[in-house]
Structure 1
Amino acid sequence: METTEQFYNEFKPLLFSLAYRMLGSAMDAEDIVHEVFLTLRNIETEPISNMRAYLCKIVTNRCIDRLRSSSKKREVYVGPWLPEPIVTDGRDAGDPMQSYLAKESITTAYLLLLQQLSWVERAVFLLREVLQYDYDEIAEIVGKTSTNCRQIFHRAKRSIGGKHAMLAQGEGAEQSDGKRLAGEASRVIDQFVEALQSGNIGKLMSVLAADSTLFSDGGGKVTAAVRPIVGAERIALFLAGIMAKATSGFSFKVAVVNNQPGIVTYEDGKPSSVVSFLVEEGSIAAIYIVVNPDKLLHVH
């Protein structure tokens, strides 16, 4: 008979991935997964025939409870809200958690797309589209009928349109195509960094789509643009202005942010922002900058 520790090692990456995509917060996702396994350890139950479905149900319900309790905070959030970034250096292949997440659809753009869905829609969509549960299993997890879940799924899919398939970098993607897209993104980000370092406005604009958008999440805690900045020229001037004000303690590194090339900036060795991108057709379509210190606690 498997122990709680064995279940933890087996299912933690899956459950974290589910909770993170539901909440957009790595810290909250970790807390929920930890709580679920503590609960599992402390209760005596009849043998559970499908532990994976059982744990997914508990995690999903706790995520919905967390979202309900934090909905008021989201309503009064200052400026754009962005998900808490997951930053790696790309060398964590030996870590089961990182190996699992490397195959998952957790890009910033994808997470923001999921935020357009209601809590129940998001749960049904993830359980069906990503975890491949059948509607009877989903119905048991979310407390709806199978027919209702089928309707919710199709409504959610219509709501976010076909863009989710393009943004998802999951296991279903062709490996060669995934490598090509990753290589293209890396090349564009390298050009972006080079232009930013040199202060070349023209070169910076050349890697930005004409209608690109920059989102900056300070959460009202630090200075950030409270409205999205739209247009290549406005974004280039905004970023050049930030670089012109950089202190002697400023530094940065290229990192893997939510499975995509990104940037981490530092002030006197302490993380000050995490930057991720949406690259489409060889240009940067969106830039996401997280400067809210509460969302940088896991960044090194």
Structure 2
Amino acid sequence: MKTEQFYTEYKPLMFSLAYRMLGSVTDAEDIVQDAFLTLYKSGSDHIQNMKAYLCKIVTNGCLGLLRSTSKQRENYIGTWLPEPLVITASEETDPMQSYLQKESVSTAYLLLLQQLSYLERAVFLLREVMQYDYQEIADIVGKSSANCRQIFHRAKRSLYVKDDPDHLDRFDQEQTANLVEQFMQALASGDATRIVKLLSADAVLVADGGGKVRAQLQPLHGPMPISHLTSNFLKKLPGNVTYRLTMVNGLPGIVVYLDGKTLTVLSFSILDGHIANLYFVINPDKLTHVV
């Protein structure tokens, strides 16, 4: 099998792993491209397990990037959110996008993963998502199988203490899409009263401007403060504001454009028929891939 065939078969899986590890679409794409470039240069005749081989390159590439950029994350201005994974109209029939929509890539889930150490995240994903046994994981990350078992259980306990990852991915597609569409209409009209009705009593808004644009630096709690902020969000903007309801990180979300350029991407988590969390990615560096 040629490298092009391996690329077609394994790229969705490798991107899914890298994106979960990094929370960055652009960095994940770079890591995956580098992995297949390495494969192209080395050839495939000596490789017995192609999936494991690519997973090892991608995992180590992600770990190396995370360690080299850890200082940047520590000094990040405001709240960090993952780069949004947005589906365009032309990508709706793309096999990779179809694969990712079935995976656990919601913003809330990615934020939970980011709370794990780099190694915990790698071991957890290789076990939980890739379904590798502990010896295979040990070969990939360079630890003993017993150590990998301990790391996995520690990571899983940590996630379940913070929340139930499975719960984050259980949602009613039609209900969620309806709530998000109502929110989009209320946002467009600046209807604060309507926004309040859509939010849960303990709703939280998180915005990521990265210090590049003006944004709420700390999470905002409660329906009234959130409705006030969001209903006034677009009123002060010069130019033509338009909206697109689409899939963001596997769930219904919104892309907002100002004069045809991407201004922000909104994703949500829904609980008991109300919007529980709102995630605004406004940092322009995280929106370069969104059209």
TM bin, normalised by shorter chain, reads: over 0.9
CA contact (8 A) 1:90 1:256 kept: no
- More displaced stretch, 265-274 vs 195-204: 195-204
- More displaced stretch, 251-260 vs 19-28: 251-260
Normalised to the residue count of structure 1, the TM-score between the two structures is 0.93
Determine the C-alpha separation between the residues in 1 that align with 2:92 and 2:213.
34
Report the residue type matching 1:218 in the other structure.
G
Q: CA RMSD in A?
A: 1.5
- Match in the other structure for 1:188: 179
Q: How many residues align?
A: 289
- Match in the other structure for 2:188: 197
Report the residue type matching 2:205 in the other structure.
L
- Match in the other structure for 1:76: 75
For structure 2, the residue ranges without an aligned partner over 5 or more in a row are none
The 3-state SS of whatever aligns with 2:112 is helix
CA contact (8 A) 2:190 2:232 kept: no
Report the residue type matching 1:259 in the other structure.
G
Determine the C-alpha separation between the residues in 1 that align with 2:280 and 2:232.
15
2:37 matches 1:38: yes
Runs of 4+ in 1 over 4 A off after TM superposition: none
- Match in the other structure for 2:280: 289
Determine the C-alpha separation between the residues in 2 that align with 1:44 and 1:298.
31
Q: How far did 1:44 drift?
A: 5.0
- Match in the other structure for 2:229: 238
- Match in the other structure for 1:5: 4
* Superposition map of 1:63-212 within 5 A: 63-89=62-88, 92-161=91-160, 162-168=163-169, 181-212=172-203
The 3-state SS of whatever aligns with 1:299 is coil
- Match in the other structure for 1:27: 26
Report the residue type matching 1:145 in the other structure.
S
What per-residue deviation string (whole Å, max 9, x for no partner) do you get for residues 124-166 of structure 1? 1111111111111111111111111111111001101151111
CA contact (8 A) 2:248 2:254 kept: yes
Q: How far did 1:58 drift?
A: 0.9
Report the residue type matching 1:63 in the other structure.
C
CA contact (8 A) 2:247 2:253 kept: yes
- Match in the other structure for 1:220: 211
What per-residue deviation string (whole Å, max 9, x for no partner) do you get for residues 211-243 of structure 1? 111111011011111111111100000011213
Report the residue type matching 2:213 in the other structure.
V
CA contact (8 A) 2:246 2:253 kept: yes
For structure 1, the residue ranges without an aligned partner over 5 or more in a row are 170-177
Determine the C-alpha separation between the residues in 1 that align with 2:89 and 2:199.
25
Determine the C-alpha separation between the residues in 2 that align with 1:231 and 1:87.
27
Determine the C-alpha separation between the residues in 2 that align with 1:41 and 1:133.
25
Identity of aligned residues (%): 55
Change (3 A) 1:45 1:104: closer
